[in-house]
Amino acid sequence: MNRILVTGGAGFIGSNFVRLVLAEQQDCFIVNVDKLTYAGNLENLEGFLDNKNHIFVKADICDGKTIEQLIDKYQIETIINFAAESHVDRSIQEPKVFIETNVTGTLTLLEAARDKKIARFIQISTDEVYGELGPTGKFTEQTPLSPNSPYSASKTAADLLVKAFGHTWGLQFNITRCSNNYGPYQFPEKMIPLMINNALNDKPLPVYGDGLNVRDWIHVEDHCRAIWKVLTDAKPGEIFNIGSSNEKTNLEVVKTILDAVGKPHSLITFVKDRPGHDRRYAIDSTKINTQLGWKAETNFQEGIKRTIEWYLQNKKWLAGVTSGQYQKYYQQMYSNR
Ligand code: NAD
Ligand code: TYD
């Protein structure tokens, strides 16, 4: 039995990961620790909340005592750290909580992992630690770390702490750096679900700047399968980029969404750019392709179609996460743009 403590498992990628593992692996027990911030939602655990191989615990990753108690109680062997403040725009508004969760939280988990002799620590990082690219080239694992936003700076600090624990105390770790994810259960502060939600409600689609910034999109299920591959097959101490070679400008993505839901391109509204907006991300996944035999399976056209269908079929979920606080957030972020 593989006994795993997953953090942030009520968020977008974490919940997709736990769902996939419970569906496909019979010999896994998952302790799912999440603070349930605005981005964490028990509705994301639909279908597996009561699974006998899963237990949900509401806790903060900065609470070392609780983490250590959980490790002991459930004889945890592996920690996979998804928990984070994850939205760049929020990190520009209020950076402090990004340092608390992404840096201090990761440090707290690392101390617990070291003291409790955890067999493997997997840090879910991001390609944003590499900064931005010009019109050509791709991020490899050798690209120098050069984060530009408070979000990516906090994730970089966490990566460096993970490496330092490996070097200093021999902690067995892996770090994964994935590109932009899309798929079911993504909170509609991120571009794709935000644009889908606005299109469904005939609201303007706020495209930052000239709309020509490029992101390298990967379906969340492909990302989750890559993480599983790293957990089972990677040598400790290795870092892997994860991507799907799906570079698109934001304008292309937004037009694809409007066409798919049958709404006019006139809903596109160019708004003031994000400060320090990274121009282009693109991932070179050669290392994970060749060393672990993983490659992304979902092409973007098919993946985005399935994703839009999911949001159409889950209007109740969407209405739930876009009520109350979200309306305030939207006002604050977009009313003066
Ligand atoms: P998310 O914001 O949807 O989910 C984050 C989860 O962490 C939420 O459930 C939240 O409640 C929980 N959380 C936040 N602070 C916590 C704390 N102090 N203690 C315990 N739980 C806490 O984020 P996501 O998009 O699912 O991203 C998951 C991870 O993947 C993050 O580490 C992120 O940096 C990384 N990542 C995301 C993307 C992407 O495109 N979304 C791409 C690459 C890497
Ligand atoms: P986002 O989903 O926030 O991810 P990240 O900034 O981590 O890449 O944004 C994806 C791209 O979409 C990014 O270039 C910013 C842009 N964007 C908009 O144009 N409008 C929006 O309302 C949002 C949220 C993002």
For residue 321, the SS3 value is helix
Please give the distance, rounded to the nearest whole angstrom, from the Cα atom of residue 316 to the centre of ligand 2.
Answer: 24
Going residue by residue through the chain (337 aa), what tens digit of pLDDT does each one get? 799 999 999 999 999 999 999 999 999 999 999 999 999 999 999 999 999 999 999 999 999 999 999 999 999 999 999 999 999 999 999 999 999 999 999 999 999 999 999 999 999 999 999 999 999 999 999 999 999 999 999 999 999 999 999 999 999 999 999 999 999 999 999 999 999 999 999 999 999 999 999 999 999 999 999 999 999 999 999 999 999 999 999 999 999 999 999 999 999 999 999 999 999 999 999 999 999 999 999 999 999 999 999 999 999 999 999 998 999 999 999 998 8
CATH code assigned at 114: 3.40.50.720
Does residue 125 lie in a domain region?
yes
Atom of ligand 1 nearest to the CA of 81: 32
Distance 216 CA to ligand 2 centre (A): 12
pLDDT at 178: 98
Mark 77-113 as b/e (b = at least 16 C-beta within 10 Å).
bbbbbbbbbbbbbbbbeebeebbebbbbbbbbbbbbb
Q: List the beta strands (DSSP E) in 217-258.
A: 218-219, 239-242, 247-249
Which is nearest to 16 in space by CA: 52, 57, 47, 55? 47
- 75 burial via Cβ count (<10 Å: 0-12, 13-18, 19+): exposed
Range of 228's domain? 2-181+218-242
Q: Please check whether residue 72 lies inside any domain of the structure.
A: yes
Containing 67, the helix (H) or strand (E) segment is helix 64-73
In a domain, 132, yes or no: yes
**Could you tell me if residue 187 is inside a domain?**
no
Residue 120 lies in a domain: yes
For residue 199, what pLDDT is reported? 97
Quote the radius of gyration of the chain (alpha carbons, Å).
19
Cα-Cα-Cα-Cα dihedral of 302, 223, 326, 310, to 10°? 30
Measured distance CA(218)–CA(182) in Å, rounded: 6
pLDDT for the residue 158:
99
Phi, psi for residue 3 in degrees, rounded to 5: -105, 110
Query: Which of the ligands is closest to the CA of residue 155?
Result: 1
Residue 337: per-residue pLDDT: 87
Domain count, the chain: 1
Nearest CA to ligand 2 atom 10: 191
The pLDDT assigned to 154 comes to: 99
Return the structure tokens found at 188: 């509609």
